[in-house]
Amino acid sequence: MAPTCPSSNTQAADQSSFWSSGNTNWDAHRIGWAVAGGCAALTLIVSCVSISQHCRNYNKPSEQRQILRILYMPLIYAVISFLSYRFFRSYTYYSLVESAYEAVTLSAFLLLLIEYVADTASERDALKAMERKDKRRLPIPFCCWRFRPTKPYFMYTVKWSVLQYVIILPACSIAGVICQAFNVLCQSEGYSIYYASVYLDVINFISISIALYGLILFYALTKEELAGRRPLAKFLSIKLIVMFTFYQSFVISWLEGRVIKATEYWTETNIADGLNALAICIEMVFFSSFMMWAYTVNEYKIEGAPKTRIWRPLWDRLSTEDFGVEILGSLKFFVDYVRGKPSTHSGRRVDAEFVNNHNKRMDFGQAFGVEGSTYPRQPVKSTVGGSGDGESHAIRPRSSYDEEIRLAPYPIGSESNFSINQNEVGV
C-alpha cells in the first residue's frame, strides 16, 4: 500500500471568536489575520486604481492586454494569501492556485516585449537591426555555444521556452490538488521519493528555469529596441515577487521545528504556512505600487481622446486566445521543422529571392511573431480590357526594413511553401 502523508492539522479547533465574554480576543493569530486582511485590502485598492487607469485609457489593446494580466499578479497573490491564512487547514490548495498565475504573468510579459519591439520597428529599423545582428554567445551557463538570431527556428524556440510554462505550471498545480486530495502530496514532509511533492517541484524548477532563461535571452537580444520602455523594471516587478515568495518559504520551512513550535490549535506546519501567507500579503502592497510605476499609464494617455469603457479591456484580459494561437502556432512550426519543410530551415535570405517569394516565404518578422513585414507595392501603368489607364501592383525591393509591423503568430492555417536559397551558406 502506498504511503500517505501524516496530518498537518491538529484535531482540536479554536472555537473562540474576536469577541469572547464581551472583550476583544486579540491573540497572535488574530492580529496576523487583521494585518493580512488590511494589507490585502490595500493591495486591492492600489491594483484596482492601476488597472482602472489602463482600462479607461485602453488605446493600445495589443500592449495593454498583457499589462492588465501582469497588474493582476499582486492582487491575486494578496487575496489568495489572505484566504490561505484565514482557512489555514486548506493552505495547500490555495498555494497551488496562487502559483499557477505566475506562468500567465511571465508569458504575458514575453508577449508584451514582442509588442514593444514591433511598435518601435517602423521608426527605429528594428527588423533591419535584427537581421544585421551577427552570431553571438548564449548567456551563462551555455556561453560555449553561439546562435544566429535570424534563424526562424531560433526565435520560435525562444518564444516556446516561455510559453511552455503556461502549460506545465497549471498542469502541475492541478496534479498537486489531486495528490493533496488523495493525501500523497506531502509538502510539509520535505523531499521524499515516496511522495508526489518532490517530483512536481523538480518539474516546476526545470520549467521555470527554461522560461526565465528564454526571457533573459530575449531581453539581451532586443535591449536596444526596448530602450525607454523600462523593461528591466517591468521584469523585476515580476521576478522579485517570485524570488521573495520562494526564498521566504524556504527560510520559514527551515525554521519549522527549530524556532517555530506547535501550539494547542496550530501545528508547526500551520504556523509556518501562516507566516508565509502573512509575509506575502505585506509584500504585495509594495509590489503593487512598484508595478503601478513600472507599467505606467501615462504613455497610453492621448490628450483630448474620450475615455474607453472598462468592460472591454477586462474581458480582453480574460480571453486567452492569443496564448492559444501562439502555442499552437509554435507547435505547428516545430512539427513542420521535424518534417523538413523548407520554410522552417531557411537561413539568411537574399533580397531578390525574398521579393519573388514574399507572399509565400516566412521572413524574420514572421518568425519573430510580427506581421505586416512585406515589401511595399508600387503602382505601375497597365491597361485593362484594352483601354484606359489602370493600376496594378508590382513588387519592388525596399531600401530598408522600416516597414510598419504588428504582432502575429506563425500561420497555422496555411502552409509556407518557399524555397531555400541554394547559394547561401547555412550556419
In this prediction, residue 352 has a pLDDT band, given cuts at 50, 70 and 90, of: very low
Residue 158 has pLDDT above 90, yes or no: no
At 11, the pLDDT band (50, 70, 90 cuts) reads low
202 contacts: CB under 8 Å, gap ≥ 6: none
Q: What is the pLDDT of residue 43?
A: 96
What is the pTM for the complete model shown? 0.73
pLDDT at 93: 87
Place of cell 528594428: 126
What percent of the chain has a predicted confidence (pLDDT) above 70? Answer: 70
Q: What is the mean pLDDT of residues 125-130?
A: 49
Sequence-distant (≥ 6) Cβ neighbours of residue 179 within 8 angstroms: 185, 196, 197, 200
Residue 10 has pLDDT above 70, yes or no: no
pLDDT-based confidence at residue 288 (cuts at 50, 70, 90): very high
Quick check: 245 pLDDT over 80? yes
pLDDT of the residue at 103: 87
Q: Can you tell me the distance from the alpha carbon of 309 to that of 56, in angstroms, rounded to the nearest whole number?
A: 6
Residue 36 banded pLDDT, cuts 50, 70, 90: very high
Beta strand segments in 95-167, E: 136-137, 146-147
**pLDDT tens-digit map of 362-411:** 444 444 444 444 434 444 444 444 444 444 444 444 444 444 444 445 45
Q: What is the pLDDT of residue 355?
A: 32
Give the whole-angstrom CA distance, residue 272 versus residue 32.
13
Give the separation between CA 102 and CA 370, rounded to whole angstroms.
Answer: 25
The amino acid that residue 343 corresponds to is S
Encode 66-104: b = buried (16+ Cβ within 10 Å), e = exposed: bbbbbbbbbbbbbbbbbbbbeebeebbbbbbbbbbbbbb
